[in-house]
A and B are shown apart, each in its own frame.
Chain A
Amino acid sequence: MKSRQIYWEDIEVEEEIPGYDMEIDARRMVLQLSGSQDHYPIHFDRNFARAAGHEDVFMSSGFTEAALVRVITDWMGDEGWLRKLRLELRRQNRIGDTMVCKGRVASKYVQDGDHYVECEVWAENQREGITTPGRAWVILPSREGSQR
């Protein structure tokens, strides 16, 4: 599936970045271990997680980063470049949650010839609200021809 290409000039500040949602279930936990290769037991061993003071096992930072990178890469198209992404893992996404990942354009500007869009991105769920606020700096192609 190829996403349509967006251009810097077409982006409006405050515009929503659509994103997607996914169920966190046992299958997702297994996919997380395979995909991230993060075998720290806090992400799959309930006794280990509870001994450390957590209510339950929770999704890893590698998984959460992948989820929010996808929000941006699905949106920016093949010619976009994710220059920087910063995430704060403040609350947890756990089995039974629906994790919703999306974003919003915060500002746009030109710097050193690159056409930047700065975006808020976040993951949220029905239990905690926003669990992972973040910010992404994306370079988009310009209709005037400049492209990273």
Chain B
Amino acid sequence: MTSNYDIEKVRAEYIGKETPPVLGRYAAEHDPIRRYCHMVEDRNPLFLDAHYGEKSRYGATVCPPAGWLAMYFAGLGPWPPTIEPLLPIVPTPGRRFVNLVVETENFKPIKVGDRLSSKKRVADVYQKAIRLDPEAVWIVGETIISNQDDEVVCIVRNTYVVHRTLQEVAAAQAKMGKA
């Protein structure tokens, strides 16, 4: 061990912790959906063509069934800046993170004009070494997203690994060696 991080204490305090609900800054809109589709060259008219959507079984343009886009419409977005952590702030030795698992369960379509809200919950926290950091912390978070009718439209589960930089690991190892 190169730090005094107490994973059992963190687990006891944070597993099951929820954030207060957040109402998305804007309604689900055409243009963010268009930009989202553009990045992967998705031409599906259900997502891009308002007239086509109106005649579809949904009666409206819908979002691609992707957790990331749902979280965007259910959150406050990157600008203007707000304090909206991905998860209730779980203390970790490092600050760098990588998203390793994405799981989205879809229950209802998200239509243009829907007002989404979200709350986040820590499902699990554990410690497991990775190549970059022997004391990396893994956090499993759930985002529960609802529409204006209080229907849960999707649940997104992400597994993040939070780690230190190589310099931070080396510095911690040197410090513990001297102690």
Chain B positions 111-150 with a Cβ under 8 Å from a chain A Cβ: 131-132
A58-101 CB mask vs B (1 if < 8 Å, else 0) is 00111111110110011000110111111111100000000000
Say if the beta carbon of B39 comes within 8 Å of chain A. Answer: yes
Query: Do B101 and A31 have beta carbons less than 8 Å apart?
Result: no
Per the bound structure, the CA–CA distance linking A28 and B39 in Å amounts to: 7
A132 to chain B, nearest CB (A): 9
**Chain A binder among B3-11, B12-20, B40-48:** B40-48
Per the bound structure, the CA–CA distance linking A36 and B75 in Å amounts to: 13
| B contact set with A: CB distance below 8 Å | 32, 35-46, 52, 56-57, 64-69, 72, 77-78, 96, 98-106, 131-132, 158, 163, 165-167
- Knowing that A65-B68, A74-B42, A86-B104 are A-B contacts, what are 19 other residue pairs whose CB atoms are under 8 Å apart, sorted by A's residue number? A1-B45, A22-B41, A37-B72, A51-B165, A52-B166, A63-B40, A66-B68, A70-B64, A73-B42, A79-B57, A82-B65, A84-B103, A84-B105, A85-B65, A85-B103, A86-B103, A87-B103, A89-B98, A89-B100
For A28, the closest partner residue in chain B by CB is: B39
Given known contacts A37-B78, A65-B102, A78 and B65 CB-to-CB distance under 8 angstroms: no
- Tell which of A31, A38, A39, A78 touches B46, judged by Cβ atoms closer than 8 Å: A78
A9 to chain B, nearest CB (A): 20
B49 to chain A, nearest CB (A): 10
Per the bound structure, the CA–CA distance linking A51 and B39 in Å amounts to: 27
Top 7 nearest A-B pairs (CB, nearest first) are A35-B39, A62-B68, A53-B132, A61-B99, A31-B39, A86-B103, A82-B65
Query: Do A35 and B165 have beta carbons less than 8 Å apart?
Result: no
Per the bound structure, the CA–CA distance linking A60 and B39 in Å amounts to: 11
Query: Do B165 and A53 have beta carbons less than 8 Å apart?
Result: yes
Given known contacts A70-B64, A82-B106, A89-B102, A53 and B39 CB-to-CB distance under 8 angstroms: no
A14-49 CB mask vs B (1 if < 8 Å, else 0) is 000000101000001001101111110010000000
Say if the beta carbon of A4 comes within 8 Å of chain B. Answer: no
Among B37, B41, B68, residue most surrounded by chain A Cβ atoms (within 10 Å): B68
A93-123 CB mask vs B (1 if < 8 Å, else 0) is 0000000000000000000000000000000
Q: List 24 A-B contacts (CB under 8 A).
A: A31-B39, A35-B35, A35-B37, A35-B40, A37-B77, A39-B78, A51-B167, A52-B96, A53-B131, A53-B165, A65-B68, A65-B104, A66-B36, A66-B40, A69-B66, A73-B64, A78-B57, A85-B102, A85-B103, A85-B104, A86-B102, A86-B103, A87-B102, A89-B102
